[in-house]
Amino acid sequence: MSLQGRIAIVTGSGGGLGRAHALYLASRGAKVVVNDLSLEAAAKVAAEVAAAGGDAIAVAASVTDEAGVAAMVERTLAEWGRVDILVNNAGILRDKSFAKMTMDDFRLVVDVHLIGAAICCKAVWEPMRAQGYGRIVMTTSSSGLYGNFGQANYGAAKMALVGLMQTLAIEGAKHNIRVNSLAPTAATGMTEGVLSEESLRRLDPALVSPGLLALVVEDAPTRAILCAGAGNFAAAHVTLTDGFYAGAGGRRRRARSRGLGRGDRPGGRDRPGLRLHPGRARAGQGRFRPPMASWSPAAARAQENAPGRGVPGAFQFSLDGRA
């Protein structure tokens, strides 16, 4: 789908995933602000966009610098008159087990990923409200959605971005501002030395960016979490089980909720209390669904057509950018 006439800011786009995003959005017709800490890196990507026939400007600024971000947005408005898309991509890693992690490292990662994204959102919020249009994408991570050893700081920041997405989507709805999250798995400067060469090849950042397109087009969803990597795409959901009513006190109540609350012993009797076993959940039991499932057109159609299946507010993704 075309982004002709749209103006996009992509933070941390001097290399890696951000570069892939900037090039891809430009290939779809968007004019792109290439932001990075390094002006040289940003200018190189802007030159790539121009060489391919697109329009781009390079801006050096830290997402944690409110004045620098404000100046970037002001320059964008002066150059092109509007800001339609913000991709919060900038980030860093300071991986250590929590036992060895310093609070300085914890604060630094949260400051860049969470506070930096909030600063950028704040800078574009009023222009988007005034023009009655905006598309914002947070870059979350499976480390935040599901956890990962050695990334307490990173995981906390990435899950916090989902919370920020949820609230900004609600507040921005009446102004046609839609806010989503992208959880990429890609080879970037942050993964060098961590993965094998074969894994790095398969995790080409360019294979993530088509997923970004689905989140920034005119008919994009809102409050969606899209996981993307190596050409695979899946939607993650913050969901809730049916649960059960345990009473407000007095006589002890026993209850179960369609397969939830089973005891640990095979064939054991139901016990009071809610026990969730994601690995054991069977289709049709309660509202619980595994958080990720491989996406395919057939699977999407089967889920859509099955009675009582699927998650409210889910969206389907296609490689041509339709959501």
CATH code: domain of residue 102: 3.40.50.720
Q: Respond yes or no: is residue 154 known to be catalytic.
A: yes
Say yes or no: 216 and 138 in one domain: yes
Q: Does residue 38 lie in a domain region?
A: yes
Quick one: how far is CA 14 from the chain centroid? Answer: 19
CA 308: distance to chain centroid? Answer: 27
Judge if 252 and 143 occupy the same domain: no
Catalytically annotated residue among 133, 146, 154, 245? 154
Kindly state whether residues 202 and 251 are assigned to the same domain.
no
Is 133 within a domain? yes
Q: What are 197's two structure tokens?
A: 């060469």
pLDDT of residue 268: 42
Shared domain check, 218 and 284: no
Is there a single domain that holds both residue 129 and residue 272?
A: no
What is the pLDDT at residue 198?
81
* Same domain as 219, residue 247: no
277 and 141 within one domain: no
Determine the structural domain holding residue 252 and report its residue range.
Answer: 243-288
73 in a structural domain: yes
Q: Are 132 and 53 contained in the same domain? A: yes
Our count of domains for the chain comes to 2
3-state secondary structure of 70: helix
Residue 23 lies inside a defined structural domain of this protein: yes
Q: Look at residue 153 in the predicted model and tell me its pLDDT.
A: 98
Would you state the pLDDT for residue 24?
Answer: 98
Same domain, residue pair 181 and 250: no
Please report, in tens digits, the pLDDT of each residue of the chain (323 residues total). 899 999 999 999 999 999 999 999 999 999 999 999 999 999 999 999 999 999 999 999 999 999 999 999 999 999 999 999 999 999 999 999 999 999 999 999 999 999 999 999 999 999 999 999 999 999 999 999 999 999 999 999 999 999 999 999 999 999 999 999 999 998 866 566 667 788 778 899 999 999 999 999 999 999 999 999 999 999 999 999 988 888 776 555 554 444 444 444 444 443 344 343 444 334 433 333 333 333 344 444 444 444 333 333 444 544 443 33
pLDDT in the model for residue 189: 64
Residue 186's nearest CA partner among 2, 67, 19 is: 19
Residues 28 and 169 in one domain: yes
pLDDT of residue 192: 65
Residues 6+ apart with CB under 8 A from 312: none
What pLDDT is recorded for position 249? 64
Q: What is the pLDDT of residue 247?
A: 79
In a domain, 311, yes or no: no
The tokens describing 10, both together, are 């992509």
Residues 110, 104: Cα–Cα separation, whole Å: 10
322, part of any domain:
no
pLDDT of residue 191: 62
Sheet containing strand 177-185, strands side by side: 56-60, 31-36, 7-10, 85-88, 134-139, 177-185, 225-229, 232-236
- Same structural domain for residues 200 and 125? yes
**Coil, helix or strand at residue 161:** helix
- The pLDDT of residue 236 is 97
Among 236, 256, 280, the domain boundary falls at: 236
pTM for the structure as a whole: 0.78
Q: Is 54 among the domain residues?
A: yes
Same domain, 268 and 169: no
Question: Residue 256 contacts by C-beta under 8 Å, 6 or more apart in sequence?
Answer: 244, 262, 270
Q: Is residue 305 part of a domain?
A: no
Q: From CA 317, how far away is CA 323, in angstroms rounded?
A: 5
